[in-house]
Structure 1
Amino acid sequence: MKKSNQIQSVDVSASAVPERVSVAMSEIAENMSEGLLALAVGAGLQVMAALMEADVTALAGPKGRHDQARTAVRHGRERGSVTLGGRRVPVTRPRVRAADGTGELAVASYELFSSTEILGRLAMEKMLAGLSTRRYPVGLEPVGVQITEKATATSKSAVSRRFVAMTETALAELLSRDLSGLDLVALMIDGVHFAESCCVVALGIDIEGTKHPLALVEGSTENATLVTELLVDLRERGLDVTRPMLVGLDGSKALRKAVLDVLDHPVIQRCQLHKVRNVKDHLPQRLRTTVGRRMTDAYHAGSALEAEAALLGLAKELDRTHPSAAASLREGLDETLTVLRLGVPPTLARTLRSTNCIESMISVCREHAGNVKRWRDGQMALRWCAAGMVEAGKQFRRVNGHLHLPALRAALEREVAEHVVPVVHNDQVSAA
């Protein structure tokens, strides 16, 4: 019968754990001068060797005792490596073969310690924290001079390969996540530029106030085709677009058009902060503070009618001296007052009156990508942006005023019921 060299996998959780392990202090005494961590690493490698030997004994029986019923035999040793503190450290590992010659058996403890998954996670965490591939070894834990000199997998290219693999995984998981279980009350969409690439990203807020990074697409500009592709993808992944939803936008016409084309009952809230900035950009420096304060005060009025009256009054004052500022103020004014018209309480309105939520997520993406000097292509932009979105998601807290979200859902349903029109989708995504 032909013998096989293929290693048969085993459950690594089934590793044999001895009750006691003796550590030869004479072998690690020289590590004491390098600190407690280096000493612990030396002891840990001895413990690992004892665990591997215990696994071999569990498979092949005690050494020197012949057993005709055994199912495995010792098969010598060979060079291997394990993961330690962000490195690969060379070790000598035992080998075990099936007694019937069908192949080599895995040693559970070695399989556990030799896994490279933690290397990828560590590379991703350190690079997203701003450590470059060139300086990656500097950020590793001190494990002793002897081990450091023999360690591998810390070169610039090795770290880069692991980071690319991990960010590809993060991107794939983000874009394949099932959204059918999400009950979104609010959706925010915005764009972020990385060199020549523009990534349009989406953030959702569910009925319990939890924020969810949803998806992203890449293109050259923030255009309607790109945003439509994003929204269609959300729908195809199970997001319920038939229920009324508050959609926060920064005022982009491309975003607005795509939202109206794809979603059944969107209720748009234009970002009030963007509106104030846009109006101030049309004014001389001496008037910007005063006009900005008056607009902010109006947006915090007790009702939409009161706010609209104050803002239209301001626009009328600006008509004669600064007509472009007045026109900018009037443009899309009604959509900047949506949270007031819906009667959203101030604690929740603070979150929904602007696009700060999604811009905060975008700022995390930009911060993590701050060390990138050369953007090779759009796929690289997608990977970095997705990794940043995932990291931002780990920092999210529930929105302020989340207890008012069921009331917002009811207000959205009333708003839509008063303006019911047949839903006709125009969401064909261009193949280009």
Structure 2
Amino acid sequence: MRNVEQDPDGRELALPPAVQEALGELVNAAKDGLLALSVGVGLGVLDTLMEEEVTEVVGPKGRRDPDRVAVRHGHEPGEVTLGGRRVGVQRPRVRAADGSGEIRLQTYAHFADRDPLTRVVLEQMLAGVSTRRFARTREPVGEHVTAAERSTSKSAVSREFVGRTTEHLRALMSRDLGDVRLAALMLDGIELKGRCCVVALGVTTDGVKVPLGLWDGSTENQTVARHLLADLVDRGLDLDQGVLVVLDGGKALRAAVDQVLGPVPVQRCIRHKERNVLDHLPEADRDLVKRRLRTAWKQSNYELALDGLNRLADELAHSHPGAAASLREGLPETLTLQRLGCPEQLRRTLASTNPIESMIEFVRRTSRNVKRWQSGDMCLRWTAAGMLEAEQQFRKIIGVDHLATLTIAVERDLAARRSATASPTMSTTTPEPAATLAPAH
């Protein structure tokens, strides 16, 4: 909004004399716009508030008071946070009358807090604003304020962002999971320009999606996934009652689940399986095979669905053995939800890794301006910030009303699998690996 008028020829007209007189020293700020005027007024109000607090603590100026507990101690330069920048002010000082030290003024402490600045920096960076362009995104607040502002340079913005994302990473990796009851646990890897993070997303029994943690590595390997799962257990995640684990089908993640979580039911992502099978086929055959795959996966009856997929694999074995082998690998685990009797509405949500991939896509979008990952710490910080930012937009999953049914089925399935591993001749210290178990039908 402009605070000057234009004549019919397009020339700017000065502010009316009455307005200039009323504004006084703020007339120059008014020329920069309404926001700059508001900032000038606000800084003046801040000065008044600080002086009023001094009067409240010390007492009226120039009046003798033998019971005075504090005295004025002049002024010194200070800084307050304003719209993603640090602006200089003259702050009053107050010292205790007995000489014990300086008394902190609450008004100045509130406006000097750097947290609003780091929050603005984080939001701008995650929105795709580079450190070099950060200063340009600030609203005009007047030439006087802009000339003295700080914390808008590339290096200052970078420091603020590193500090904020470090806090986010620490908050995510130190979350207490003792009170979290999961119905499903999703694992997937995210590739970021040569770096890799394995991330975990939980779905609680209330249908709430919760980012659980992440682990850095060079690839999506078994060791990285095992460390991530072990960290979740160390932070209190209770898996004794069982949880459905949803994976993209990677062998490394599957092996890590067996080692850390034991014989929990695993649902392999049907979308990943579909892509893997179709990649082995010529274009002319893909539509028919895709329809048959999806028809089988829509079946609610486990035996019928398994039979349909096995027949398709037998047919492909003659013409496209690679596609047949890809389909048979882990085939029963693409139907785990049918085997557990999961209702169709919830099955559509948990039969694929779409929920965690949606979170991963948010991480990719927020870090799209990063040209080079300097370290694993940088990768972890950006990923954690993106995960927590995505969490703010999460909604309850579709099919939440059926989670209780699924949870009971998972508990029964886990109990049956544990009973199957029990044997009088088996050592109690070296249980049989869960990977050797046949799927329960």
TM-score, length-scaled by structure 1: 0.91
For 2:22 and 2:292, the matched residues in 1 are separated by 76
Counterpart of 1:172 in structure 2 is 170
Deviations 1:217-258 (A, max 9, x none): 111111111111111111110000211110000011111111
Matched, 1:281 2:279: yes
Counterpart of 1:215 in structure 2 is 213
For 1:102 and 1:65, the matched residues in 2 are separated by 22
For 1:353 and 1:236, the matched residues in 2 are separated by 28
Secondary structure, aligned partner of 2:210: strand
Contact 1:243–1:264, Cα closer than 8 Å, also in 2: no
Contact 1:241–1:265, Cα closer than 8 Å, also in 2: no
Deviations 1:367-403 (A, max 9, x none): 1110001210111101111111110111110001111
Contact 1:82–1:114, Cα closer than 8 Å, also in 2: yes
Contact 2:300–2:341, Cα closer than 8 Å, also in 1: no
For 1:271 and 1:80, the matched residues in 2 are separated by 57
For 1:304 and 1:37, the matched residues in 2 are separated by 65
Counterpart of 1:75 in structure 2 is 73
Q: Give the letter for the 1:252 counterpart.
A: G
CA-CA distance at 1:263 after TM superposition: 1.1
Q: 1:153 to 1:216 in 2, by over 3 A?
A: same
1:25 to 8, 23, 26: 23
CA-CA distance at 1:193 after TM superposition: 1.5
For 2:23 and 2:432, the matched residues in 1 are separated by 74
Counterpart of 2:38 in structure 1 is 40
Q: Give the letter for the 1:204 counterpart.
A: G
Deviations 1:173-218 (A, max 9, x none): 1111100000001000011122332111100001000010001111
Counterpart of 1:360 in structure 2 is 358
CA-CA distance at 1:419 after TM superposition: 2.6
Deviations 1:1-20 (A, max 9, x none): xxxxxxxxxxxxxxxxxxxx
Q: Give the letter for the 2:340 counterpart.
A: L
Counterpart of 1:316 in structure 2 is 314
Counterpart of 1:369 in structure 2 is 367
For 2:432 and 2:72, the matched residues in 1 are separated by 68
CA-CA distance at 1:426 after TM superposition: 9.8
For 2:297 and 2:150, the matched residues in 1 are separated by 59
CA-CA distance at 1:264 after TM superposition: 4.0
For 1:204 and 1:33, the matched residues in 2 are separated by 53
Shifted more, 66-75 versus 257-266: the winner is 257-266
Q: 1:425 to 1:148 in 2, by over 3 A?
A: farther
Counterpart of 2:333 in structure 1 is 335
For 2:376 and 2:346, the matched residues in 1 are separated by 36
Contact 2:263–2:417, Cα closer than 8 Å, also in 1: no
Counterpart of 2:18 in structure 1 is none
Q: Give the letter for the 2:378 counterpart.
A: M
Deviations 1:87-141 (A, max 9, x none): 0111111111111111111111111111111111111111011000000011112
Q: Give the letter for the 1:133 counterpart.
A: T
For 2:432 and 2:151, the matched residues in 1 are separated by 51
Secondary structure, aligned partner of 1:396: coil
2:113 to 95, 112, 115: 115
Secondary structure, aligned partner of 2:397: coil
Q: 1:335 to 1:172 in 2, by over 3 A?
A: same
Counterpart of 1:236 in structure 2 is 234
For 2:66 and 2:364, the matched residues in 1 are separated by 65
Q: Give the letter for the 1:347 counterpart.
A: Q
Shifted more, 309-318 versus 242-251: the winner is 309-318
Deviations 1:40-94 (A, max 9, x none): 1111111111100011001111111111110111111111111100001111111
For 2:389 and 2:316, the matched residues in 1 are separated by 44
Secondary structure, aligned partner of 1:278: helix
Secondary structure, aligned partner of 2:392: helix
**1:244-323 map, 5 Å:** 244-323=242-321
For 1:192 and 1:102, the matched residues in 2 are separated by 56
Matched, 1:49 2:47: yes
Contact 1:242–1:265, Cα closer than 8 Å, also in 2: no
Secondary structure, aligned partner of 1:354: coil
CA-CA distance at 1:415 after TM superposition: 1.9
**1:382-401 map, 5 Å:** 382-401=380-399
Shifted more, 239-248 versus 259-268: the winner is 259-268
Q: Give the letter for the 1:351 counterpart.
A: T
Unaligned runs of 5+ in 1: 1-22, 428-432
Secondary structure, aligned partner of 2:130: coil
1:60 to 47, 58, 61: 58
Q: Give the letter for the 1:81 counterpart.
A: E
Counterpart of 1:15 in structure 2 is none
Secondary structure, aligned partner of 1:188: strand
For 1:317 and 1:354, the matched residues in 2 are separated by 25
Q: Give the letter for the 1:102 counterpart.
A: S
**1:95-244 map, 5 Å:** 95-244=93-242
Deviating above 6 A after TM superposition, structure 1's stretches of 4 or more consecutive aligned residues are: none
Contact 2:300–2:344, Cα closer than 8 Å, also in 1: no
Counterpart of 1:90 in structure 2 is 88
Q: 1:172 to 1:76 in 2, by over 3 A?
A: same
Q: 1:425 to 1:112 in 2, by over 3 A?
A: farther
Secondary structure, aligned partner of 1:238: coil
CA-CA distance at 1:146 after TM superposition: 2.1
CA-CA distance at 1:147 after TM superposition: 1.2
Q: Give the letter for the 2:169 counterpart.
A: L
CA-CA distance at 1:36 after TM superposition: 2.0
Contact 2:125–2:131, Cα closer than 8 Å, also in 1: yes
For 1:218 and 1:270, the matched residues in 2 are separated by 23
